[in-house]
Amino acid sequence: KNEVEQSPQNLTAQEGEFITINCSYSVGISALHWLQQHPGGGIVSLFMLSSGKKKHGRLIATINIQEKHSSLHITASHPRDSAVYICAVSLTTGTASKLTFGTGTRLQVTL
Amino acid sequence: NAGVMQNPRHLVRRRGQEARLRCSPMKGHSHVYWYRQLPEEGLKFMVYLQKENIIDESGMPKERFSAEFPKEGPSILRIQQVVRGDSAAYFCASSPGVQGEAFFGQGTRLTVV
């Protein structure tokens, strides 16, 4: 069993839909990260959070430490949001940037 | 303030050749991490370096792979005698400190033919 599990693996949505991507982890963490990767592109850090909720534009990330679960929400989705979204954790035994990754959620937003 | 710079973006090597991947961290960042993304697989940690020191190489293959982060210049990930299984995207990330957030580069896509 992976230490970081994401669901769904693939997601197709129509433009304007509200999207939720889930991440569960089974280890002690100091922080959780949401990353975005476009096909053939680099990796962009969207959020780093250790509690509560963060919002940036149309993106919202939440974390429940007791349940070891995080969600990434995209409101009013747009085709440019099409990318792979990756959940990663910083273990309590390591540094903040030594990350353990989920396998990613491939999102496609259509017109 | 330039971000994390990796070069080359794409690298093609024949089996048995050496591959050198470079990573210049963000200005003011002295911590560098290398990650590998194999085709159709998730990202995996390889090595963590600070200036002139390897701090954690628990994710590095034991043979053919080495990394350095000299006092001056970029961090280098070196793969000797490459094999087809080394074909992957290699990402570098840098952070300002032990608990700082990491910023990723664009990656180097290595193809071994």
Convert the pLDDT of each residue in B77-111 to its tens digit. Answer: 999 999 999 999 999 999 988 777 889 999 999 99
Convert the pLDDT of each residue in B2-50 to its tens digit. Answer: 799 999 999 999 999 999 999 999 998 999 999 999 988 889 999 999 9
| C-beta separation of A99 from B44 below 8 A | no
Minimal C-alpha gap between A48 and chain B (Å):
7
| C-beta separation of B111 from B84 below 8 A | no
Minimal C-alpha gap between A33 and chain B (Å):
9
Give the CA distances from residue B55 to residues A95, A110, B49, in Å, rounded to whole numbers and listed in that order.
10, 44, 5
CB-based contact (8 Å) between A100 and chain B?
yes
CB-based contact (8 Å) between A48 and chain B?
yes
Convert the pLDDT of each residue in A42-101 to its tens digit. Answer: 899 999 999 999 999 999 999 999 999 999 999 999 999 999 999 999 988 777 788 999
Residues of A in contact with B101 (CB under 8 A): 45, 48, 96-97
| Residue carrying structure tokens 């099409």 | A82
H or E element that contains B94: strand B88-95
| C-beta separation of A89 from A3 below 8 A | yes
User: Would you say residue B60 has pLDDT above 70?
Assistant: yes
| Residue A95 to residue B48, Cβ atoms within 8 A | yes
CB-based contact (8 Å) between B106 and chain A?
yes
User: Would you say residue B1 has pLDDT above 60?
Assistant: no
Counting every residue, how long is chain A?
111
> How far is the C-alpha of B64 from the C-alpha of B18, rounded, in Å?
9
| Residue A103 bridge partners (DSSP) | none
